[in-house]
Structure 1
Amino acid sequence: MKKLVLLVLLGTFLSCNGQEKKKETSSVATPTIKDEWKEKLTPEQYEVLREKGTERPFTGEYWKHFEKGTYVCAACQNPLFTSDAKFDSDCGWPSFDQAIKGSVKYTNDNSLGMERIEVTCAKCDGHLGHVFDDGPVKTTGKRFCTNSVSIKFIPKK
């Protein structure tokens, strides 16, 4: 009897703590369990998107990329930014002055001893980067400092 109770409690613990939020907004399957994310993503993508890591500046694929198209979440393909919103901030990461409406979520981030606003994918909660108030004054004044590894580029046809 004690073993059964222990197994039930263990199963409840794993189902509560081993799963992440799942949102159904498209036909692309979104993993919900840590191991599924590890299978779907590269180690670097997993570190950034699921563990809130940051790629080294000036190393990402898209920091100096300016073709026309759309940038989507590397984890779930949710459209996040258009190329029209991209600008060269020379910060070492891809920068955008605005996200596609409803595509991202904002959360206060007080880690690293400073106050920042974390930006995550609204569909899969993948960490994208942070948003700052030092973007182009002529547009929104915002700078979405985004990890290249957290996004994929879809060229305009």
Structure 2
Amino acid sequence: MGRRAAAIGPAVVGDQAPTLVLAALLHDIGYAPELAATGFHPLDGARFVRDEGRPDVASLIAHHTGARNEARLRGVAELDDEFPFEDSLIQRALTFCDLTTTPDGRPTNVSDRVVEIVRRYGDDHVVSQGVQAGLVEFLGIEREIDTILSGSPASIR
């Protein structure tokens, strides 16, 4: 996902590209057992990154890939309390990178990635329910970023 962020960052978010790449590299850090205080990786990762001095990156991590949908399902109110959601282009670009890259780093599209997530976790899992709740939003993000990239060199897309 970091490579995807590095490739699209300059065209999509300009001088914020390094921040996008850092957020992409760290977006799942909350899965690390030593950081998993709540068991909700976006919040656990965001707290760690914030405490390390990068509140800007922490906010991106807190809300990557529609984490607010899953937070609602889990009853994790402190996500928005600690990290208010900002619907920014860089936030959408991070979600785009996550949902257009497979777990093993191959390119994909949002629809196929959501299917993969649901298949991996199962229909009844809160992660699956969260990404399914965000599907319309995610498809809109994919269209938005693809439109921006359509004016860029083909090697970026």
Compute the TM-score of the two structures, normalised by the length of structure 1: 0.28
Compute the TM-score of the two structures, normalised by the length of structure 2: 0.28
Larger Rg: 1
Decide which structure has greater strand share.
1
Decide which structure has greater helix share.
2
